[in-house]
């Protein structure tokens, strides 16, 4: 008959299994400890009530057990001749599992939370009792080893020694300084800032009709309105209404700096890489002035004549791929800004007006924002407000 080993009356309602001291097929002696449990104030070893061979273990580490809970099943071994070597081996295993680890319930809980195997630590306390500083020293050593390993892996990742020419012709092109700098910044921003991207579509049918009509009367190319002119103006009013999108969070995450000025960066693709000229104090500028600055600074960036000061001080960035294509994308925030707007290519779509489908010119927008500063509700309200302004550009004058 199989022998059932249960939790005896331990004086508490329940406890957690923190260690199992035997395995299936182990031979256990009567009164030998088989598991360790821990209550709120103390840990204790539960002994076997019989001698036998472990047939099945009914619990696992982290299980909650109570009085009379079955923890394992034994096969009787009274009539079985156990080789002396096997007995000695089991005694040695038992000693290694049970008597070396001396630690308080607090230390055991802390070790489990840190995923530390206490068997790997030699305690500095009495009878090799493991103390808190022993855990600290172990973590320092492990982290040091891990960091060195990660650094080595990263160095290997950045050094590609694979011979791609085995599969065909390969041309090596040196990465430009701008691409290297922007690549490092984008990688850092993506990994450090918790991004959320909100998508929307704007009906710009009336806006585009007005823009074309206005530009037909303007001879000077630098004064013509682009779609970006209206978007910059709309973003300006949006930042005035929702100031947290015009802010910067401190490195420790405890302070948010709300800016009283509005400087908007315009991402420009150049032959050397991406540059972001900044139009400053946009809140004080008319549509004509904004159109002129976009034209001048974009050209300066493409010609490589942009001033360093014109690339600094941005509060919010607009990245427009409308002239290239695509239906939507998720732009990466420029630290230390709180948000960035992506603009994709507009196209005509059939929109239901309640009685029929009407062709409307639809502009896709995508707003990425720092979720540490801006929650989903505020992000949605901001892009909805931008939508409202672009649908009826008369609101830009209010």
* Annotated catalytic residue 133: no
The tokens describing 278, both together, are: 């900044």
Residue tagged active-site, from 50, 195, 289, 371 = 371
| Other Cβ atoms within 10 Å of 230 Cβ, number | 22
Is the previous residue joined to 336 through a cis bond, with omega within 30 degrees of 0? yes
Burial code of 316-329, b = ≥16 C-beta within 10 A, e = fewer?
Answer: bbbbbbbeeeeeeb
- Packed helices 287-302 and 227-241: angle between N→C axes, nearest 10 degrees: 110
Provide Rg for the chain, Cα atoms.
34
**Where would I find the H helices in the chain?**
84-98, 105-113, 132-158, 177-192, 205-215, 227-241, 287-302, 376-391
Is residue 10 within 8 Å of 44, Cβ to Cβ? yes
Place of tokens 């680890």: 101
Six-digit token string for 320: 């427009």
Give the span between the Cα atoms of 9 and 367, in whole angstroms: 61
CA angle 296, 395, 262 (to 5 degrees): 45
Cα separation, 195 vs 193, in Å, equals 6
Give CA–CA dist 240/231, Å, rounded.
14
| Residue 25 near residue 54 (C-beta atoms within 8 A) | yes
Catalytic positions: 371
């Amino acid at each position: 008959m199989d022998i059932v080993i249960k939790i005896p009356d331990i004086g508490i309602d329940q406890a957690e299994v923190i260690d199992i001291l035997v395995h299936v097929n182990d031979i256990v002696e009567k009164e030998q400890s088989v598991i360790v449990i821990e209550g709120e104030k103390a840990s204790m070893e539960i002994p076997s009530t019989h001698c036998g061979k472990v047939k099945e273990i009914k619990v696992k580490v982290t299980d909650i057990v109570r009085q009379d809970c079955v923890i394992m099943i034994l096969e009787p071994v009274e009539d079985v001749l156990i080789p002396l070597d096997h007995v000695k081996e089991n005694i040695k295993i038992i000693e290694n599992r049970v008597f070396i680890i001396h630690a308080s319930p607090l230390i055991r809980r802390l070790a489990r939370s840190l995923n530390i195997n206490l068997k790997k630590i030699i305690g500095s306390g009495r009878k090799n009792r493991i103390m808190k500083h022993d855990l600290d020293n172990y973590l320092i050593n492990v982290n040091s080893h891990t960091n060195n390993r990660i650094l080595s892996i990263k160095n290997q990742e950045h050094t590609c020694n694979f011979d791609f020419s085995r599969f065909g012709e390969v041309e090596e092109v040196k990465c430009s300084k701008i691409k290297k700098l922007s690549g490092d910044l984008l990688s850092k921003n993506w990994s450090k800032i918790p991004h959320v991207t909100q998508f929307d579509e704007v009906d710009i049918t009336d806006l585009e009709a007005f823009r074309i009509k206005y530009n037909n009367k303007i001879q000077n190319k630098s004064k013509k309105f682009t779609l970006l002119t209206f978007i910059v103006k709309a973003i300006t009013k949006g930042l005035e209404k929702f100031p947290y999108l015009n802010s910067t969070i401190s490195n420790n995450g405890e302070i948010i700096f709300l800016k009283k000025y509005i400087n908007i960066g315009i991402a420009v693709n150049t032959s050397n890489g991406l540059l972001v000229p900044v139009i400053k104090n946009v809140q004080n500028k008319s549509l004509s002035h904004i159109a002129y600055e976009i034209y001048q600074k974009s050209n300066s960036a493409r010609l490589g004549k942009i001033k360093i000061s014109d690339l600094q001080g941005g509060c919010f960035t607009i990245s427009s791929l409308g002239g290239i294509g695509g239906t939507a994308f998720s732009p990466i925030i420029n630290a230390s800004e709180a948000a960035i707007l992506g603009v994709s290519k507009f196209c005509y779509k059939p929109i239901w007006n309640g009685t029929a489908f009407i062709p409307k010119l639809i502009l896709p927008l995508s707003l990425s924002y720092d979720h540490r500063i801006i929650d989903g509700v505020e992000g949605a309200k901001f892009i909805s407000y931008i939508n409202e302004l672009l649908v009826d550009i008369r609101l830009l004058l209010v």
